A and B are shown apart, each in its own frame.
Chain A
C-alpha cells in the first residue's frame, strides 16, 4: 500500500494545499513536507477531515496522492503532483528577463 497525503485547492486563494492532522485537528498547509502521511486504513481519518474541510468551504475537491519519503522529505510520486507541490518548472518571465539583462 502506497503512502499518501491529501491535497486540495484553497477555496479563497485557489492555492495548492496539503492536509496536516495534529491530534485530530486539521489544518491546510502549502508545504507538502508538513502534510500528514498515511496509508491503508489510517487514511480514512485524513479522508474524513478533508471532506469536512470541503463541506466547510475551506478547500475545493480534495483527493489523495501517492508520495514517497526521501532524504529530502516528502516527494509526490507523479510529475503532475511534483509540479503542483513546487510550482512551475520554468521561472517567472520577469526573473528570466532580469537575469539575462544582468548577464549581458
Chain B
C-alpha cells in the first residue's frame, strides 16, 4: 500500500483544520448554506433525507486492517453502528452530526484516510480493479498509476470547480472489473503490440445518470509517461468547454457527445501537444518510486493444492458451493482471492456493521496479510488468503453472515440507498433488493442461473448503475406511487452496454414477479448452461421477454 510521507500527513491535517474552520464559520452564520454546501460537498458531506451523510474515500478500493478498524470505530462513536460501501468503492455514514465531522476527519487522518473530493464538482476518488496486483489476468498492476492520479487530482487548483463531477477508473487486466466504459475517463492498461511497452487505451465521456453513455476511445495507445499530461489536457478542455447552463448537461459525456468524438479528440490532442513535455511528464524514476509502494508481499512458496481443503470440498457441499462461487484464483501458487459477500436478505446491499468491520479486520490480519479491498459491486475482498486457510476462514465468515455463495450471481444485487436514505431518490430500492433476494435465495436456482447481474437505482441519477446491469431496475415516482422500470441487456464489463427499457413500469408488488419471468424466459430459451443471461438476451432480443411480461 502507499505509505504517507510527512507531507501527505501534513496535507490531511491542514485540510481537517481548514474544514473545522468552515464548519465553525457555518455554525456562526458567516457562511451561507449555499456557500457552505460547495465546501462540505468537496469534503464528502451531504445533507440527506434524515441526516448528514459523510462519504469517506477509499482510494482505488484499498484498505488496511487498521483502517477498517477506524471505520468501525467511527460507525460506533459517531454513527449508528454501521456503514455502507458504495459503487465507487467508498464508504458512507448515514447519521453523523455536522459538529462531529471535524473530529471524524481527525480520526480518519490518523490512519491516512479522508473525505477529500468524494463529492462536489471536482475529480472524485479514482476507482480500480479490486483484484489489482493479485489477478491472474493482469497486464500490470494499476495501483501505482491510480496513486499518481490520486496525487495529481487532490486539490488540483485548476480543476476544483468543474462543470460537474468527474470520475476516473483504471483497469490493468484483460477482464474489466472497474467498469472503465462508464466513467468520465477510463484507462485500460495495454501493451503496445510492437514495443511491448505499457500504455493506456483511453476512454472519455462515459457516464450513467439520466443520459447514460459509454465512453469513446479517444486514444488507442497512450504511453504511460504521458498519462498525467493527457489527463490534464482532457480536464482543461472540459473545464473550459463543458456546459454550465444546465446541470443535467454538464457531465463530460454531453460535451463529448455534442462536440463530436473527432473534434473533441482534436481539441484534447492540440492542448496536450502544448503541455506534454511539462512537469507532469512521468519519468522512469517516478514509476520506480511509486511502484515501490505496491511490491508483492512476501508470499510463501506453496503448492497449489492442499489435502484438507480438498477433503472438505468433497465432504461438505456448503463449503464447495462457497468455494465455487466466492473464490477466485490468485496469481501466486497456493493463494486464493476471497470475496466477502455483503449481499444477504438481512442487510441492505453494501451495509456492514461495526462489529463485522472489526471482525473483517481481524480476519484480514489472520488470513490475508492485513489487506482488504472494496469492489464497485459493493462487496469486500480478502486478496491474499492461503489455500490451506480457506476452511477456517469459511467457518469464521459464516458466523459473520459474510459467506453467502452468490458472487456475480442473481442475489449479488447492486443497490443505491434509495428513498430510505437519499434526498434525491424518488423510490425505494433496498426493499426491492431484499424482496428479490428473499424470492431467489436458493442455491440450486442461483447456481443454475449462473452469471447474471441485477442493479437497482431509486431515481434517474442511477447511482445503482441499473443501466449497465443485465437486469436493471429503476424506481420512479408515478403520481405518488413507487413504480419500477425494467431494463435488460446492460453490462459494465469489457463488453459494456447500456440496457434497454423493456416496457411500462411495474408496481412494487409486481416487480419481483417480473424479474422472475425474465429469468424464466432465459432458463427456458438458453441453448445450454454455458450461454449466460446476457449472451441469450443478445441472441434473442427483447421480443420473448416482452411477450412474457406484457403478452
Contacts and interface: CB of A to CB of B under 8 A. Distances in A.
B351 A93 contact: yes
Contact of B50 (A12, A78, A84): A84
B345 to A, nearest CB: 8
Nearest to B23: A12
B420 A88 contact: yes
B50 A16 contact: yes
B434 interface: yes
Interface in A22-81: 56-57, 60-61, 78-80
B416 interface: no
Nearest to B37: A60
Given A11-B98, A83-B420, A94 B50 contact: no
B49 A12 contact: no
Contacts of A11: 26-27, 98
Contacts of A84: 49-50
B391 interface: no
A45 to B, nearest CB: 23
Contacts of B482: 79
B355 interface: yes
Contact of B52 (A14, A79, A80, A100): A14
A14 B420 CA distance: 16
A97 B354 CA distance: 12
A88 B421 contact: yes
Interface residues of A, number: 26
Nearest to A82: B419
Contacts of A102: none
A66 to B, nearest CB: 11
B82 A90 contact: no
B419 A92 contact: no
Size class of the contact patch on chain B: 35 or more
B167 interface: no
A97 B81 contact: no
Contacts of A13: 51, 97-99
Contacts of A88: 50, 420-421, 430
A56 B480 CA distance: 34
Contacts of B348: 90, 93
Interface in B77-98: 80-82, 95-98
A80 B419 contact: yes
Contact of A57 (B29, B81, B477): B29
B352 interface: yes
A88 B53 CA distance: 14
B81 A94 contact: yes
A89 B82 contact: no
Contacts of B29: 56-57
B505 to A, nearest CB: 15
A4 interface: no
B346 interface: yes
A96 B99 CA distance: 29
Nearest to B346: A96
Contacts of A60: 33, 47
Interface in B211-255: none
Q: Which residue among B352, B420, B426, B434 has the maximum number of chain A CB atoms within 10 Å of its CB?
A: B420
B467 interface: no
Contacts of A100: 346, 401
A32 to B, nearest CB: 13
Contacts of B434: 90
Contacts of B480: 78-79
A90 B431 contact: yes
Interface string A1-26: 00000000101111110000000000
B385 to A, nearest CB: 24
Contacts of A92: 80-82
B50 A87 contact: yes
B428 interface: yes
Given A9-B47, A15-B51, A80-B419, A94 B428 contact: no
Contacts of B39: none
B259 interface: no
A16 B97 CA distance: 12
Interface in B398-445: 401, 419-421, 426, 428, 430-431, 434
Contacts of B401: 97, 100
B347 interface: yes
A52 to B, nearest CB: 13
A14 B93 CA distance: 13
B353 interface: yes
A12 B428 CA distance: 27
B353 A94 contact: yes
B431 A89 contact: yes
Contacts of B346: 93, 96-97, 100
Contacts of B50: 14-16, 84, 87-88
Contacts of A87: 50
B353 A93 contact: yes
A61 B33 contact: yes
Interface in B456-511: 477, 480, 482
Nearest to A85: B50
A78 B80 CA distance: 26
Given A12-B97, A89-B420, A93-B353, 16 more contacts: A11-B98, A12-B27, A12-B99, A15-B51, A16-B50, A16-B51, A79-B482, A80-B49, A80-B419, A83-B419, A87-B50, A90-B348, A93-B82, A93-B347, A93-B352, A97-B346
Interface of B: 26-29, 33, 47-52, 80-82, 95-99, 346-348, 351-355, 401, 419-421, 426, 428, 430-431, 434, 477, 480, 482
10 contacts: A12-B98, A14-B95, A57-B28, A57-B29, A79-B477, A79-B482, A80-B477, A83-B428, A89-B428, A93-B353
